[in-house]
Structures are given as structure tokens and as C-alpha cells.
Structure 1
Amino acid sequence: MIRVLLVDDQELVRAGLRGILRAAFGFEIVGECADGDDAVAAVRSTRPDVVLMDVRMPRVDGVVATQRLTGEHDAPPVLALTTFDDDDALAGMLRAGAAGFVLKGIAADELQRAVRVVAQGGAWLDPIVTGRVLAVYRTTRSPAPRRDGAAAALTSREREVLALIGRGATNDEIARLLVVSPLTVKTHVNHIFSKLDLRNRAAAIVFAFDHGITEQSAD
């Protein structure tokens, strides 16, 4: 079972999510919050595998709540959920450390897949708005001069792995494409994160887009 914490101020939305993420499909809703202010305490008490976080909430929004969560030891990944094509807010979620985002109204099976991918350490960026969100992210992030030339520190294999991460591939998919073990891929991913000072897979996708690495082909 994948343990999920729901953070959304609308009871109707949470009810819908409960119906989609139920035990029959391999999920367990371990807690619910109606405001981002309660998220940290709820994570500490329920220890979820994934936090499904609304972006827009009246008191403490998803960006602030995600910033608080990612500062916690062993924090679970956060998947942002929004009804708005709000590029600024979603870019803010990436900067706060979210592992990805989906739009409310996503098909049930796609939401289930997104939660599974994030629970397994992957990233999920809704393709409908990813291009625009990354454009906002690039223009509003703080400068990071140390990382500008950081890609040069990657080995050719690490660049191949990063290119595939940028295209949304999971570790298992990368292992099949490169004909290596998933453990080897995990080692490469850890090296990439360390060398590039990246906190999660979503940040790696942004880096790959920014540096044109997604355009490389894997041998």
C-alpha cells in the first residue's frame, strides 16, 4: 500500500481523491488536512509515502507548506495539485521542493500513476503546463553560478541518465534502455544529485531542460 496524506481545503475534492486513491488500487489515505498549516504535524504523526498538496489554500498555501515539509528530516515527496493553470504558483512549488504537479481534473488512472511514480522517488510534471512552468521557474529563481558549469563534472553515462530523467523516465525504464541494473541507475542518480546539488528528481528535470541535456540521445 502507498500511504497518502491529503492536504486540500475543499472537502468535496478530498472525497473525490479518497475515491480514486482507495485500497482496491493499492493506496491508503492515512490522514487529511484542510490547510497547509497542519501538514507538518500530520506528516510527523502519519508518516505518509506521498503528500498530495493543494496549491491554493486560504491560510497557509501549498508553497509555504511544502517549504516547511522539505525542511523536515526524511520528509516524504510532495505532489502539487491545483485547479489553476497558475504558472507562478506551480513554479513556486518546484522551488519549494515539490516532486511534481498535476492539474485537478486529471484522469483517475493518471493520478494514480503520478502518485506511484512520486512515491517511488520519481517526478511527475503535467505535460499540459510543464513548458510554461519551467519558463517561469527559470526567470524567477535565484542565480546559482556554481551550477552553471556543473554539467561538465558529469560522466558521459551520468549525462545519459540525466537526459532520460529529463524525459520523465523512471529508474527501471532507464535500466532497461541502458541495459544496466536498477541499482546501477540508482547509483548514477545519486552521483548526479550530489554533483549538481539537486534536491530531487523534479529539480533534475529542470536542470536537464535548462542545459539542453534532454536533447541528447542515449546510446
Structure 2
Amino acid sequence: MMNAVNGNMDDRTRVAYIDDQLLFREALVAVLEDSGLVSVVQSIGHEQTEGRSLRNTAPSVLLLALDAQTHDPMVTLQGLRQTNPQLPVCALVAVDRLDRAREAIATGCKGAVSTAASLNLLIAALQSVSSGQAYVDPLLGGRLLAKAGIRNLSRTNRIGADGDFQPDGGEISKN
């Protein structure tokens, strides 16, 4: 499939995707591929990663679902960090699993995206992490900061008690 922006196949972000939920994995692979901006070079479940290197498919980023039911995704992440230490990882996590997001970032994930994110936001995260930047989607970031007690970010954005961003347009306060 050609890149929707400039028609060049080589410009697509190469993604290896690990998720135990087959239906969701297949659906996400389809929409990522359909975007023309991402090439999913490998799509497997957590149980298929044991002792496996992802180098033969040459992904530029690993998308790792942290909501596995049958395997501990943190064990998968730790194993993959050993066999693929240079591969940047972006975690896909449910909004209510802030503990998983924090643990994944502490274990070396360079990005975290909530399952409530839009496709465009997920693609932006994958591209950012693939190019060496860190990325946390605004919803997760807001909730992580709120959990840490940080509420005021700028003159135009606040984090509400629920962790969601709230524009206020007011002055920065110390609350």
C-alpha cells in the first residue's frame, strides 16, 4: 500500500503489534494499514513472544497492548527489552489502568496511548516514538499528572479532579 501523503511506501512507520485480543488486534491492524501511514510488519499475541527477537521483521516501533488477559504484559515487555533493546516501545493501555502506564514507562516504554485515543493520535504517537521522541497521549498524561497532584499546566489548560484537561484561560495558580 502506498503512503497516502506522498505515495512512497518506504515512508510508512513499520510497526510490530502485540495483543492477546485477536479481534481487536485484527481490527487495529486493518485500520492502521488502511491509513497508508503505517505498515504492520508483525502482529502476534503475548504468548508468541517468548524468547523471540523481532529483528527479522525490522519494525521501527513496537506497539504493546497492556491489557492482556492470559499473560502478564510487563513480563512480555521485560523479555522484549532484553531481546530487542534498541526497539522503541509504545504502550496501548486502558484509561483506567494508570498503574500499567506508569509501570510501562518505568520499564522503558517511550510512549503510552490510551485505548480511548483516536486513530490519528495513535498514529502520531507511533511516528513520534519511532523517530526517537517520547509521547504520552493527553488523556493519560493528564490523569497521570493529576494522580501526582499536579493540576496547573499553563494559562489555558488545567487538569480537573478527574484527570481530564479543562481550558480555563486564567492565570497560573499554585493549587
TM bucket normalised to smaller: 0.5 to 0.7
1:117 match: 128
Determine helix, strand or coil for the equivalent of 1:22. Answer: helix
2:41 match: 30
Instruction: For 1:61 and 1:75, locate their aligned partners in 2 and report how far apart those are by CA, in whole Å.
Output: 22
- Number of matched residues? 139
Conserved? CA contact 1:4–1:51, under 8 Å? yes
Kindly state the Cα deviation for residue 75 of structure 1 after the two structures are TM-superposed.
Answer: 2.6
Instruction: For 1:77 and 1:135, locate their aligned partners in 2 and report how far apart those are by CA, in whole Å.
Output: 26
Q: List structure 1 segments (4+ residues) > 3 angstroms apart after TM superposition.
A: 134-137
Q: List aligned pairs for 1:63-102, cutoff 5 A.
A: 63-72=74-83, 74-102=85-113
Q: Which has the higher strand share?
A: 2
- TM-score of the aligned structures, taking structure 2 as reference length: 0.68
Conserved? CA contact 1:100–1:123, under 8 Å? yes
- Percent same amino acid at aligned positions? 28
Q: List aligned pairs for 1:89-168, cutoff 5 A.
A: 89-133=100-144
Matched residue type, 2:93: T
Q: List aligned pairs for 1:43-82, cutoff 5 A.
A: 43-72=54-83, 74-82=85-93
- TM-score of the aligned structures, taking structure 1 as reference length: 0.55
Conserved? CA contact 1:2–1:28, under 8 Å? yes
* Runs (5+) with no aligned partner, structure 2: 1-11, 149-175
Q: Which has the higher helix share?
A: 1
Matched residue type, 2:131: Q
Instruction: For 1:76 and 1:30, locate their aligned partners in 2 and report how far apart those are by CA, in whole Å.
Output: 14
Conserved? CA contact 1:5–1:29, under 8 Å? yes
RMSD: 2.6
Q: List aligned pairs for 1:155-194, cutoff 5 A.
A: none
Conserved? CA contact 1:7–1:35, under 8 Å? yes
Of the structure 1 ranges 92-101 and 39-48, higher mean CA displacement relative to structure 2 is found in: 39-48
